Amino acid sequence: MSRVLSQMSYFRRSGGRDHIFVFPSGAGAHLFRSWATFLNRSIILTPEGDRTDKRGISAFNTWKDIIIPGNVDDSMVKPDARAVQPIPLTKRKYLANFLGRAQGKVGRLKLVELAKQYPDKLESPELKLSGPDKLGRVDYFKHLRNAKFCLAPRGESSWTLRFYESFFVECVPVLLSDEVELPFQNVIDYTEISIKWPSSKIGPELFQYLESIPEERIEEMIARGREVRCMWVYALDTEPCSAMTAIMWELQRKVRRFHQSAETFWLHNRSIVNRDLVEFRQWGTPVPLP
């Protein structure tokens, strides 16, 4: 981390407050052991709002950081040429599905067992990551579209890509991840397009609840999801609605006119200088760390 920051001439100007770091998946900011010391003021873009299951503390701060959507397979986000098309609700074989690996997580293990107990209601095939039995992308989405509800439990972290994928096969996502943070919550009403169910109540009562939902309501949620799913797509700048447009909007909300830190000083001529009275634009590298 120190080597990275030593190449950033302006990092110390605001203690990193006006810097942005992107951690798309995996260990997130925990990739750097010293993130809590050096990146605790910077804005982090990540799909993972919580990694406390193994790390003890999350690198995500809901007040300054931004949740970004997971990247859905390109073949499924093209409006006129999707690899797999949705099918009518009446032709879907299952009430719900869970397409993912158990990963030793309690919620996922419960779903795998429930699929064995209620094979007519819940589909949860064992996914192979390699070998001749590996489920191809097209087949994966064909399975995903064959249920009214797509279950999205937490895995190594609180997020799951299936939440976003479900919108492109038009099944209603059911979040089974209590601490999940979702993108763009200031503009999207998630109660209109999804369901969040307590992970402690994963069992037959979940099926009873899902079966009680009228198909008219399911259709309404799917239709609304169809309107906002463009915000999950990392499209070209020419597109009026995209994930990047929404991310830039979120960043704009965080812009301040002036960034002050303990290492920032200013003079009568409005120049911003460091502790040695050197203007930031004249700095070279390496620079002292915060």
pTM of the full predicted structure?
0.84
Q: How confident is the model at residue 40 (pLDDT cuts 50, 70, 90)?
A: confident
* Distance of alpha carbon 18 from alpha carbon 24, whole angstroms: 19
- What is the reported pLDDT for 286? 40
Look at residue 2 and tell me whether its pLDDT is greater than 80: no
**Alpha-carbon span 212 to 282, nearest angstrom:** 66
Q: Tell me, rounded to whole angstroms, the distance of Cα 256 from its chain centroid.
A: 25
Residue type, 289: L
State residue 167's pLDDT score.
97
Q: Best-predicted range by mean pLDDT among 22-26, 129-133, 237-241? A: 237-241
Nearest to 71 by CA among 177, 174, 159: 159
Q: Is the pLDDT reported for residue 181 higher than 80?
A: yes
Give 196-242 pLDDT, tens digit per residue: 999 999 999 999 999 999 999 999 999 999 999 999 999 988 888 99
Paired with 44 in beta bridges are 21
Distance, in Å, from the CA atom of 257 to the CA atom of 153, rounded to the nearest integer, reads 40
Helix (H, G, I), strand (E, B) or coil at 268: coil
Among 169, 110, 168, CA closest to 143 = 169
Q: Which residues pair with 247 in a beta bridge?
A: none
Confidence of residue 282 (pLDDT cuts 50, 70, 90): low
Label residue 97 by pLDDT band (50, 70, 90).
very high
- Helix then strand count (H, E) for the chain reads 9, 10
CA-CA distance, 165 to 98, in Å (whole number)? 12
What pLDDT was estimated at residue 248? 92
Domains present along the chain, CATH in parentheses: 1-67 (no CATH), 74-232 (3.40.50.2000), 262-289 (no CATH)
